């Protein structure tokens, strides 16, 4: 299939449009999808409702094929075992949108659950990683990690659900450094996300949020500087999620959870996703930085506890992920087809 959208520099078109073209091209050419899965289909939203009809969505009968063949059976079984809900999931499996960040994360990271060598290949150059350690029985990496304790009272005294209605990260793994210390890495994965619309204040919800997070934000030993923005401005995405995850990392570090003396947040985000960086919807936030990274850097009390990871590291070789992953997510393939 020839994709009509020509891929230019990312300052000329939106990153999401480029990824839609990439996903559409892959869907039509790949041999890992049955022919019946290549039809346009509505997107199934978080309420289970169909919306629109898109070339970059799979028919619901083939939603499980959003996961690549080397990942599909094991990932579905693991999410079922850990009772992790899929974002906009269809039945008990993944969503049908090919631009799902959760699906991309699982397609990239699931092979690392039982293969520490892959973890070392990707993250070794980024971290002081001497040895990957198990994080759960028979697992070197796990998904939708929430930590062992309900630090912010989000479960209201009830057991929490990983990845739903509580502070979580998309994945986590443990490792030993060259000095022998144990560290914990919390991985948050972004794909085409952006947050360009202002949040509508909700006094009831905002009061709950203040009760949960204010003490940690105002703690002078904590990870967030409270003198940069008032807490209500931290409720705008993506600052809200970034703040909560950094607070979780700090609490885990203080408690030496998983035996870790240091806990770092690794934020997987394409540098081409300019819309994410433009997600500053208030005059107050724009006044202190030109992009999300600028503002976030000022909010962080310990900048070494947070780092960006370019998702291109997962495209460097099939040994890192898989041939199918590289074929699906490498933009060079779509560029070549669009120019044919």
Q: How many residues does the chain have?
A: 340
Burial-class residue 136 by CB neighbours within 10 Å (0-12, 13-18, 19+). middle
What pLDDT is stored for residue 318 in this prediction?
A: 74
The pLDDT value recorded for residue 331 is 76
46: nearest Cα among 221, 163, 209 = 163
pLDDT of amino acid 187: 98
Burial class of residue 134 in the structure, from the number of CB atoms within 10 Å of its CB (0-12 exposed, 13-18 middle, 19+ buried): middle
Distance of CA 5 to the CA centre of its chain: 26
> What is the pLDDT, as a whole number, of residue 332?
63
The token duo for 88 is 């906009």
pTM of the model: 0.93
- Between strands 50-54 and 41-44, the pairing is antiparallel
Classify residue 59 by its DSSP letter. -
Q: Residue 234's pLDDT is what?
A: 97
Q: How many CB atoms neighbour CB 108 within 10 A? A: 26
Angle subtended at Cα 247 by Cα 245 and Cα 249, rounded to the nearest 5 degrees = 70
3-state secondary structure of 278: coil
What span, in angstroms and rounded, lies between the C-alpha atoms of 266 and 119?
13
Per-residue pLDDT, 142:
98
Domain boundaries, given as residue ranges, for the chain:
1-99+323-340, 113-321
pLDDT tens for the chain, 340 residues: list them: 223 333 334 444 589 999 999 999 999 999 999 999 999 999 999 999 999 999 999 999 999 999 999 999 999 999 999 999 999 999 999 999 999 999 999 999 999 999 999 999 999 999 999 999 999 999 999 999 999 999 999 999 999 999 999 999 999 999 999 999 999 999 999 999 999 998 998 999 999 999 999 999 999 999 999 999 999 999 999 999 999 999 999 999 999 999 999 999 999 999 999 999 999 999 999 999 999 999 999 999 999 999 999 999 999 877 789 999 999 999 765 444 433 3
For residues 133 and 140, what is the distance between their CA atoms, to the nearest angstrom? 6
Q: What is the pLDDT of residue 180?
A: 98
Measured between alpha carbons, how far is 245 from 3 in angstroms, rounded to an integer? Answer: 38
Which of 70, 63, 71 shows the shortest CA–CA distance to 98?
63
Distance (Å, whole) CA 184 – CA 265: 9
Q: Residue 10 has what pLDDT?
A: 40
Closest to 59 measured CA to CA, from 73, 44, 47, 46: 44
Supply the DSSP string of 192-233, one letter for each residue: S----SPPPP-HHHHHHHHHHHHHHHH-TTSSB-TTSS-GGG
């Amino acid at each position: 299939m020839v994709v009509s959208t020509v891929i230019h520099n990312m300052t000329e078109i939106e990153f999401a449009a480029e990824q839609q073209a990439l996903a559409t091209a892959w869907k039509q050419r790949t041999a890992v999808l049955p022919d019946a899965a290549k039809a346009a289909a509505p997107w199934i939203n978080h309420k289970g409702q169909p919306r629109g009809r898109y070339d970059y969505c799979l028919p619901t009968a083939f939603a499980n094929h959003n996961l690549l063949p080397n990942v599909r059976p094991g990932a579905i079984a693991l999410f079922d075992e850990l009772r992790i809900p899929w974002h906009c999931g269809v039945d008990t499996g993944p969503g049908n949108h090919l631009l799902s960040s959760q699906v991309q994360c699982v397609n990239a990271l699931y092979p690392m659950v039982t293969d520490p060598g892959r973890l070392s290949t990707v993250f070794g150059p980024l971290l002081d990683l001497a040895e990957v350690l198990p994080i759960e029985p028979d697992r070197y990496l796990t998904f939708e990690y929430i930590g062992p304790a309900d630090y912010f009272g989000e479960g209201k005294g009830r057991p929490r659900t990983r990845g739903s209605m509580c502070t979580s990260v998309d994945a986590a793994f443990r490792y030993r450094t060259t000095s022998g210390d144990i560290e914990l890495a919390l991985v948050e994965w972004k794909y085409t996300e952006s947050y360009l619309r202002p949040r509508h204040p909700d006094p009831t919800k905002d009061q709950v949020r203040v009760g949960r997070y204010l003490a940690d934000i105002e703690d002078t030993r904590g990870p967030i500087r409270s003198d940069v923005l008032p807490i209500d401005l931290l409720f705008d995405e993506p600052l809200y999620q970034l703040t909560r995850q950094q607070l979780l990392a700090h609490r885990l570090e203080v408690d030496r959870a998983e035996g870790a003396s240091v806990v770092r947040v690794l934020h997987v985000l394409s540098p081409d996703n300019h819309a994410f960086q433009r997600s500053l919807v208030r005059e107050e936030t724009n006044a202190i930085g030109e992009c999300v990274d600028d503002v976030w850097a000022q909010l962080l009390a310990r900048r070494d506890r947070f780092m960006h990871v370019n998702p291109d590291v997962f495209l460097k070789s099939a040994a890192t992920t898989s041939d199918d992953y590289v074929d699906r997510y490498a933009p060079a393939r779509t560029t070549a087809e669009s120019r044919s």
